[in-house]
Amino acid sequence: MTILAIDTAANFCAACLYDPHSQKVLAQKSEDLGRGHAERLLYLIDACFTHAQLSPQDLTRVAVSVGPGSFTGIRVGVASARGLALAVKVPVVGVTTFSAIADEYLAKAPIGDFAVLLKGGRGQIFAQKFSKAGDEDQTPFIITDAGDSKMCEPLENLHSFIGNAADDFDEARAVAGFDRATGNIQTYAKLGATSTLPPKPLYLRSADAKINANFALPYAAVT
């Protein structure tokens, strides 16, 4: 079983080939671009196949970061993942940025429940709560005013915060070293092995949630 993982949701443009049975990374490429993911992603994917001496026909699944993150970056990644999976007739699944960052923090065995807080632009914070056991708590939500105590009430009793908005939100409870906007590409590959999430962009702002009919591509069902 070989998984191709793609992440273009934040500043990194990254691809990874991963064998979930051996838990071995076969190849990975990552560039800190900020912008211009569309121009580099296919090159990085091809470089992974070359390094691993594999071809797209060797894939059994494709996993892609669905955000939240950069509106354009997510579209690039999801469209590429869907297109490649369609071409080689394999399932394609999504992995959220929240889940990837949380999974890396869970490896440190946190002592209490926590939330991933991400910068959403326009002064907003995208948030999702997790238990210390790794269970996702409810659905992601938006904080439009960090000074509004009622709006921030769901985060009141949490032990810690991670993500690139954690320090600005609550410096005292922000975890050092986890002020990141996305997870490691290896994490997306690992989570993609068991994910059943559809490869649909996770846009939390209503203005970003408009559907472009010309963008839609069919994809194989997860089995």
Q: What is the pLDDT of residues 70-111, one digit of tens each?
A: 999 999 999 999 999 999 999 999 999 999 999 999 999 888
Helices (H), the chain: 37-52, 71-88, 97-106, 166-169, 185-192
pLDDT > 90: percent of the chain: 74
- Reported confidence tier of residue 208, pLDDT bands at 50, 70, 90: very low
Nearest partner of 94 among 106, 113, 81, judged by Cα: 81
Q: Taking 90 as the threshold, does the pLDDT of residue 196 lie above it?
A: yes
The two tokens of residue 219 are 């994809």
What average pLDDT does this structure show over 26-34?
A: 93
CB-CB neighbours of 170 under 10 Å: 17
Where do the CATH 3.30.420.40 domains begin and end in the chain? Answer: 3-97+182-215
Where do the CATH 3.30.420.200 domains begin and end in the chain? Answer: 98-169
Average pLDDT, the chain: 90
| Contact indicator for 79, 94 with CB cutoff of 8 Å | no
Spatial separation of the C-alpha atoms in residues 42 and 118, rounded to whole Å: 27
CATH number 2.40.40.20 given to 98-169: no
As a residue count, the chain comes to: 223
Helix or strand or coil: residue 112?
coil
The residue ranking higher by pLDDT, 8 or 147, is 8
Q: Taking 80 as the threshold, does the pLDDT of residue 26 lie above it?
A: yes
pLDDT at residue number 148 = 79
Q: Taking 80 as the threshold, does the pLDDT of residue 17 lie above it?
A: yes
Spatial separation of the C-alpha atoms in residues 61 and 39, rounded to whole Å: 23
CATH number 3.30.420.40 given to 3-97+182-215: yes
